[in-house]
Amino acid sequence: MANLLKKKQETPKQDGIRIVQEVLKEQSGLEYVGFKLIEMDQGAIYEEQTGTAECCIVAVTGKLTVSEGKESYPDIGTRKSVFEKKPTDAVYISNDRSFRIEAVSDATVAFCYSPSEKQLPTRLIPADSIAVLQRGSGANQRLVHDILPETNPAANSLLVVEVYTESGNWSSYPPHKHDQDNLPEESFLEETYYHEMDPPQGFVFQRVYTDERDLDETMAVENQDVVVVPKGYHPVGVPAGYTSYYLNVMAGPKRIWKFHNDPDHEWMLK
């Protein structure tokens, strides 16, 4: 087993903060992508130094005030549940910075990391600036919130996106991969998937596999689990009766998303 499925943590809260996921290099083996998710009680304070990583802070649910140096972004966050299906606010913070988060309400916060050496300005990514896209057709439809796309020059390496997939549909499908540094045909990007389901007792299936099948894992993924994608194709199937949400973090040596479809299944796009 490749240990690609990271179950949500059941640790107790400390000072109003509970770590739900912490999928950093030590836990994942990934070189370019790190991910953390915390739950905060109203009034709780979280502080962090970015060190050698850049970070995109996503207000998954609830309201936050994020401060870094002279910058402060009060009361960001737009929703009580991700399944309101509206974009939320995010903040980009570069390497070698310190930041502080105060929970204005009960909140869930995601931290998306990638190694970085070039400092960039701290920036608010407001919800009303995030592109909302419909992709696919038939049983391959999904709704996309492009939080930090390659067209946004705010980051050195990070790409961050939210995706909704309806009951009985497929996502990241036909299966595609981005594990070769072979531009312009394909870029190398590691990836993590943070999953939620509505209702929360649901599950989805995610397969991660390569052409050679040296990696071939199919996982039943539950609410607040993370799937690590170091390489290979990585489709997601949603059972009837449930809606899927996932937050993707991608990063690699070049900040370009250029994928390659599995040729065995590409026929369905024609």
pLDDT block averages, 10 residues each, the chain of length 270: 88 95 92 98 98 98 97 98 98 98 98 96 98 91 96 95 97 96 96 98 98 97 98 98 98 96 89
pTM greater than the 0.85 cutoff: yes
Distance CA 35, CA 221 (A): 17
Flag whether 162 is in a domain: yes
8 Å CB contact between 19 and 110: no
Flag whether 196 is in a domain: yes
Distance CA 77, CA 14 (A): 23
Flag whether 233 is in a domain: yes
Flag whether 2 is in a domain: no
Strand, coil or helix: 268: helix
pLDDT value of residue 270 = 74
Token code pair at residue 27: 């836990």
pLDDT value of residue 1 = 47
Please give the residue range of the domain that contains residue 38: 7-269
Q: Give which of 117, 188, 129 is closest to 155, Cα–Cα.
A: 117
Structural domain count of the chain: 1
pLDDT value of residue 17 = 98
**CATH number of the domain enclosing 98:** 2.60.120.10
Amino acid at 171: S
Flag whether 1 is in a domain: no
Question: What DSSP line would sit under 176-237, residue for residue?
Answer: EE-EEEETTTEEE-EEEEEEEEESTT-EEEEEEE-TT-SSEEEEEEETT-EEEESSSB--EE
pLDDT value of residue 258 = 96
Distance CA 23, CA 4 (A): 10
